[in-house]
Structure 1
Amino acid sequence: MKQIKTLLIAAILFVGANQTMSAQAKIAHVDTGEIMSKMPAMLDAQKQLETLSKTYDAEYKKMVDEYQAKLKKYEAESTTVTEAVNTDRSKEVQDMQKRIVDYRDNAQKELQQKETDIVKPLMDKVKASIQKVGKAKGYQYVVDGSSLLLADGPNLTADVKKDLGF
């Protein structure tokens, strides 16, 4: 009787352990940062953004140089002109300052929007590829390995790059 109880308990433990093992999810990881940084379309996008940024920077520098030259000129002439002229010049300088600040703010917003417009479709493409590769390899979960403290499981980064064609 004691042996039957022992065998019964052993059988229950074996069945329970077997079900626990089969219930575990298959998990892999991928480094989306590496994929995005080496993706040819992303490299082209970065060049576009850099060119646009340089254009904005050049225009901003031109406006600041013009502002500084005018300010210097007005300061040098301030003692030789009337109070009314100095008041008008002061308003003109303040308007220039406001235009410069507005230009800088708008340029930053436009750059951020352009970056979002360019990067989102690329990120969607990478995400679709990760899902495709993960499902093809039988994984239930694929996590971004760049934020993991320990990424000891299967790495799908190379497979995703291959799927994307680079």
Structure 2
Amino acid sequence: MNKTTAVYPGSFDPLTIGHEDIVRRSLRIVDRLIVAVAETATQSKSGLFSIDERVDLIREVFADEPRVEATSFSGLLVDFAQGREARVIIRGLRAVSDFEYEFQMALMNRSLWPEVEVLFMAPATRHTFLSSSLVREVGRLGGDVTDFVSPGVKTRMDRAFGRTAGE
């Protein structure tokens, strides 16, 4: 029996509970999931964590799940997926506004590698408003991000913003 491997690419800066939800629910469908931090951003964003820090955070959050692998990649996503024998790409869609861009990317990826399947997943309703950019900005401005990220991610965010836990 062939095991299904999928790639869940993104910036994950920071990893949110919305991302965690997509990862854990993906494991209901695939046997192995590679959470792949893109080294080259597709959109201009000011980062909080380095690529290595993001990979470390993903590993920390999913330490209890041996079917999740965290790594980084550069270049074309389909080349990375093909090299890892992952025939499925997981993408989260928070809102209709995400769909047009993601749909174009899915069609381009299938044009580059016809055997790849792109699976769009809607987040749990309670996470639909979450984005890394929004969580990063709330944290940067001193807001409480406890409900939006795992405890380890919050600790690292506090440290990155020069705060101690509880401030």
**Per the shorter chain, which TM-score range?**
under 0.3
User: Between Structure 1 and Structure 2, which shows a larger proportion of strand residues?
Assistant: 2
Q: Which has the higher contact order (CA 8 A, sep 6+)?
A: 1
TM-score by length of 2: 0.22
User: Between Structure 1 and Structure 2, which shows a larger proportion of helix residues?
Assistant: 1
